[in-house]
């Protein structure tokens, strides 16, 4: 779909024929606006659950419902260079009624620069000319709003800010740098590393010569650390066995360390990881989502003590699992389905009536 934007007489007309007129009027009057200048034609850009290919007239998005949103984009090389799509970047935005955010495209970084939004004069100038800019702004895709809200209803601004990278950007591919700067042969010798000017004799030797990489500081997602030790210090063999079968102790440790004041925020973290994977294409987020879900589903004692948490989990998973085909989780080698094996643990614990809900989901 091309976000080209031919002229329209009214922002409400562009919202689509399926939108209720009162809702369209409300969004037109109270909705937020993103003015994104200089975005190259062909760039893949989207907000929340929908994306488009930017056309030559694109200047931003209007009629955005107040609240939390995920803006994402991928730069595209020129046709002469093959038209290849770059890795997706995204950021969470928390928009107020009638708020206007202003950004310019940074060609060197291939990213949006929102620093202009911090200049009240620039924002006021754009607001004053918003009527002339209206025909260049695309309407928020209201038809996907219900789905977006169902995937983020437990995710608060506080949790999203705490989990997203310090850089403010969620990137599909990790930004990595060498652990050591070894520009000269003597630098490698000082670290007892093999020289690069001789032929490798073995595969191991070749791997040893590759630079050790680490993620650039400030670009990593800040997920809760899932405890590696699932039993308390000084536990007896019987306790170790019990805590290895029932992960309630590990879950309580995670909640105490990361969500002490609001234990239900762990559901927000589960939704944050899912959105980063589903919309942001971040595989690391998918792995964390699986690990966090497994921890929750294998904590049988916690299910009895934290009923509100698990009733909320049912709602969260109901909407999440509807977005992914069941065979996505099947291990190609073993043919095991991660979801089936994980959720079976929960259905045995929650009882017959709640099992029916899980069977409906699966």
In a domain, 169, yes or no: no
Domain shared by 241 and 341, yes or no: yes
Residue with tokens 């997706």: 88
Ranges 18-32, 169-183, 197-211: which has the least confidence: 197-211
Domain containing residue 94: CATH number: 2.60.34.20
Q: Do 209 and 246 lie in a common domain? A: no
d(CA 267, CA 149): 14
Q: What's the whole-number mean pLDDT along residues 210-235?
A: 87
Q: For 325, list phi and psi in degrees, rounded to 5.
A: -65, 140
pLDDT higher for 316 or 360?
316
Distance, in Å, from the CA atom of 103 to the CA atom of 341, rounded to the nearest integer, reads 46
Residue 198 or residue 153, greater confidence: 153
Q: Is residue 276 part of a domain?
A: yes
- On whether both 39 and 139 belong to a single domain, the answer is yes
Q: Which residue has the higher pLDDT, 244 or 344?
A: 244
Q: Are residues 61 and 135 in the same domain?
A: yes
High-pLDDT (> 70) share of the chain, %: 73
pLDDT at 14: 44
CATH of the domain at 325: 1.25.40.550
The pair of three-digit structure tokens given for residue 23, joined into one six-digit string: 């809702």
Mean pLDDT across 5-9: 32
* Residues 71-98, mean pLDDT to the nearest whole number: 87
Based on the structure, what is the number of domains in the chain? 3
132 class by beta-carbon count within 10 Å (0-12 exposed, 13-18 middle, 19+ buried): exposed
Q: Are residues 25 and 134 in the same domain?
A: yes
Choice between 83 and 351, residue whose per-residue pLDDT is larger: 83
- Examine the pLDDT at 91 and tell me if it is beyond 60: yes
* Judgement on whether residues 70 and 180 belong to the same structural domain of the protein: no
Has residue 185 got a pLDDT over 80? Answer: no
Residue range(s) defining the domain that contains residue 99: 21-143
Residue with tokens 């109901």: 318
pLDDT of residue 82: 67
Distance CA 92, CA 169 (A): 8
The confidence score (pLDDT) of residue 7 equals 29
**209 plus 318 within the same structural domain:** no
Indicate the average pLDDT of the chain.
82
CB-based contact 200:206 (threshold 8 Å): yes
Contact between 138 and 52 (Cβ < 8 Å): yes
Provide mean pLDDT across the span 114-119. Answer: 92
Identify the band that residue 214 occupies on the pLDDT scale cut at 50, 70 and 90: confident
Highest mean pLDDT among 172-186, 208-222, 294-308: 294-308
**33 shares its domain with 67:** yes
pLDDT over 70 (residue 46) = yes
Q: Cβ(2)–Cβ(53) under 8 Å?
A: yes
d(CA 256, CA 263): 8
- Whose structure tokens read 């970047």? 89
- 């990213």: which residue's tokens? 111
Residue 104 confidence (pLDDT):
95
36 and 87, same domain (yes or no)? yes
Q: Are the beta carbons of 173 and 281 closer than 8 angstroms?
A: no
Q: And the tokens for 122?
A: 């620039």
Paired tokens of 246: 């029932």
| Reduced 3-state DSSP string for the chain | CEECCCCCCCHHHHCCCCCCHHHHHHHHHHCEEEEEECCCCCCEEEECCEEEEECCCCCEEEEECCEEEEEEEECECCHHHCCCECCCEEEEEEECCCCEEEEEEECCCCEEECHHHHCHHHHHHHHHCHHHHHHHEEECCHHHHHHHHHHHCCCCHHHHHHHCCCCCCEECCCCEEECCCCCCHHHHHHCCCCCCCCCCCCHHHHHHHCCCEEECCCCCCCCCCCCCCCCCCCCCHHHHHHHHHCCHHHHHHHHHHHCCCCCCHHHHHHHHHHHHHHCCCCHHHHHHHHHHHHHHHCCHHHHHHCHHHHHHHHHHHHHHHCCCCHHHHECCCCCCEHHHHHHHHHHHHHCHHHHHHHHHHC
> For residue 99, is pLDDT > 60?
yes
Report yes or no on 44 lying in a domain.
yes
Spatial CB neighbours of 283, under 8 Å, sequence gap ≥ 6 = 277
What's the confidence (pLDDT) of residue 72? Answer: 97
Is the pLDDT reported for residue 329 higher than 70? no
| Cα–Cα distance for residue pair 266/149, rounded to 1 Å | 17
pLDDT of the residue at 189: 57
pLDDT of residue 2: 46
Looking at residue 148, its pLDDT comes to 96
**Per-residue pLDDT, 245:** 92
245 and 211, same structural domain?
no
Highest mean pLDDT among 33-37, 140-144, 350-354, 356-360 belongs to 33-37
Same domain, 185 and 243: no
Residues composing the chain: 362
The reply to whether 151 falls in a domain is no
Q: Which of 87, 82, 58 is nearest to 72 (CA)?
A: 87
Q: What is the pLDDT of residue 26?
A: 74
- Average pLDDT in the 267-291 region? 95
Higher pLDDT pick, 327 / 40: 40
The pLDDT of residue 23 is above 90: no
Among candidate residues 111, 7, 109, 104, the one with its CA nearest the CA of residue 60? 104
Question: What integer is the mean pLDDT of 33-54?
Answer: 93
**Lowest-pLDDT choice from 178-182, 204-208, 333-337:** 333-337
pLDDT digit string (tens) for 162-177?
A: 999 999 999 988 776 6
User: Is residue 182 domain-shared with residue 269, that is, in the same domain?
Assistant: no
pLDDT at 19: 64
Please state, for a pLDDT cut of 90, what percent of the chain lies above it: 58
pLDDT at 334 over 80: no
* Residue 353 domain flag: yes
């Amino acid at each position: 779909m091309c976000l080209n934007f031919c002229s329209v007489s009214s922002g409400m007309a562009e919202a689509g024929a399926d939108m209720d007129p009162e809702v369209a009027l409300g969004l037109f009057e109270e909705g937020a606006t993103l003015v994104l200048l200089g975005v190259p034609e062909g760039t893949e850009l989207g907000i929340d659950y929908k994306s488009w290919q930017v056309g030559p007239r694109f200047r931003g998005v209007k009629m955005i419902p107040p609240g939390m949103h995920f803006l994402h984009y991928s730069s595209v090389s020129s046709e002469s260079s093959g038209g290849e799509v770059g890795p997706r970047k995204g950021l969470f935005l928390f928009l107020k009624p009638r708020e206007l955010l202003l950004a310019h495209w940074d060609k060197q970084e291939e990213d949006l620069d929102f620093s202009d939004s911090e200049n009240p004069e620039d924002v006021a100038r754009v607001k004053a000319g918003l009527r002339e800019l209206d025909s260049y702004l695309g309407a928020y895709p209201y038809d996907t709003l219900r789905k977006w809200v169902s995937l983020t209803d437990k995710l608060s601004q506080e949790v999203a800010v705490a989990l997203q990278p310090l850089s403010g950007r969620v990137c599909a591919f990790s930004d990595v740098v060498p652990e050591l700067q070894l520009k000269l042969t003597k630098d490698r010798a000082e670290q007892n590393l093999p020289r690069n000017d001789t032929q490798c004799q073995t595969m191991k030797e070749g791997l040893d010569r590759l630079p050790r990489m680490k993620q650039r500081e400030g670009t990593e997602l800040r997920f809760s650390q899932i405890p590696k030790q699932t039993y308390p210090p000084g536990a007896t063999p019987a306790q170790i066995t019990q805590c290895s079968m029932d992960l309630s102790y590990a879950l309580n440790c995670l909640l105490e360390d990361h969500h002490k004041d609001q234990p239900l925020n762990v559901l927000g973290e589960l939704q944050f990881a899912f959105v980063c994977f589903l919309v942001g294409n971040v595989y690391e987020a998918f792995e964390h989502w699986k690990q966090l879900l497994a921890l929750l589903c294998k904590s049988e004692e916690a299910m009895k003590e934290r009923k509100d948490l698990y009733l909320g989990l049912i709602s969260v998973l109901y909407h999440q699992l509807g977005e992914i085909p069941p065979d996505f989780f099947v291990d190609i080698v073993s043919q095991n389905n991660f979801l089936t094996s994980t959720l079976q643990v929960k259905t045995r614990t929650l009882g017959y009536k709640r099992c029916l809900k899980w069977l409906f989901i699966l």
